[in-house]
Chains A and B, each alone.
Chain A
Amino acid sequence: NAGVTQTPKFQVLKTGQSMTLQCAQDMNHEYMSWYRQDPGMGLRLIHYSVGAGITDQGEVPNGYNVSRSTTEDFPLRLLSAAPSQTSVYFCASSYSPHEQYFGPGTRLTVT
């Protein structure tokens, strides 16, 4: 199993640009989530999904969209990038909200 994979690993965007961060898992996990990690603030939940076709907002959803058309994939879309969205983004998956397995992260810089 590859586990949780994320692409790209690094990305630089200009303010106002849009992009999609990809996340895929091959463990048949129902639960997937996106977090952002900023210095001194731990991990904050952006959006999550409890199964294909079902998504919900986390703690910091503004400026981000998600969809879950398959069990395997959970892409995160930045609609109009802002410098405040400079962060490290992690995708995680699990059978339940408990024991989540994290991907390697995407490091995003918005200039």
Chain B
Amino acid sequence: GQQLNQSPQSMFIQEGEDVSMNCTSSSIFNTWLWYKQDPGEGPVLLIALYKAGELTSNGRLTAQFGITRKDSFLNISASIPSDVGIYFCAGRMEGNEKLTFGTGTRLTIIP
């Protein structure tokens, strides 16, 4: 099935640092979503993107829909301890009723 390549797989950063992660596909997507999952919880939607080139912010989080429609990026500025968790990208192809998820980026903040 369709695969989404998410990188990096894990990140170890210090509090206050900025974070960047990305998601790439071999196919064109018309929707990109970013989710965060805390330990023992279900994923929570952070940002939804619907148009190529779109740049959307949610507080310290900013996500972009790549102009090729085959990638998306998530940036977190000035990280804080509650940013710890796993970040998943998800995408949907035109005419497809299903979402495809990436394998996640695990973010850890080093004291």
Could you list which residues of chain A lie within 8 angstroms of chain B, going by C-beta atoms?
4, 31, 33, 35, 40-45, 48, 50, 56, 58-59, 90, 92, 97-105
Of the listed stretches B14-22, B61-69, B74-82, B92-100, chain A binds B92-100
Q: Does the CB pair B33–A40 fall under 8 Å?
A: no
Residue pairs across A and B with CB atoms within 8 Å: the count is 58
CB pair A104 B41 closer than 8 Å: yes
* Those of B1-58 within 8 Å (CB) of chain A: 1, 4, 6, 31, 33, 35, 40-45, 48, 50
**CB distance A50 to B42 under 8 Å?**
no
In the bound complex, what is the Cα–Cα distance between A67 and B48 (angstroms)? Answer: 29
Which residues of A have CB within 8 Å of B35?
102
Cα distance A97–B90 in the bound complex, in angstroms: 11
Q: For the complex, give the distance between the alpha carbons of A56 and B102 in Å.
A: 21
Cα A74 to Cα B97 in complex, Å, equals: 17
Chain A residue, CB-CB nearest to B41: A104
Instruction: Return chain A residues, CB-CB under 8 Å to B104.
Output: 42
Known contacts A97-B92, A98-B92; A42 and B102 CB within 8 A of each other: yes
B108 at the interface (CB under 8 A from A): no
- Bound CA span A100–B92, Å: 12
Residue of B nearest to A91 (CB): B42
Encoded as 1 (CB less than 8 Å from any A CB) or 0, chain B from 85 to 111 comes to: 000101010001111011110000000
B-side contacts of A99, CB under 8 Å:
33, 45, 48
Looking at B33, B45, B88, which has the most chain A CB atoms within 10 Å of its CB? B45
Q: Is the pair A90, B31 in contact by a Cβ cutoff of 8 Å? A: no
Question: Which chain B residues lie closer than 8 Å to A42 at the CB level?
Answer: 4, 6, 88, 101-104
Whether the pair A98, B1 counts as a contact (CB closer than 8 A) is no
Alpha-carbon distance A48/B99, docked complex (angstroms)? 10
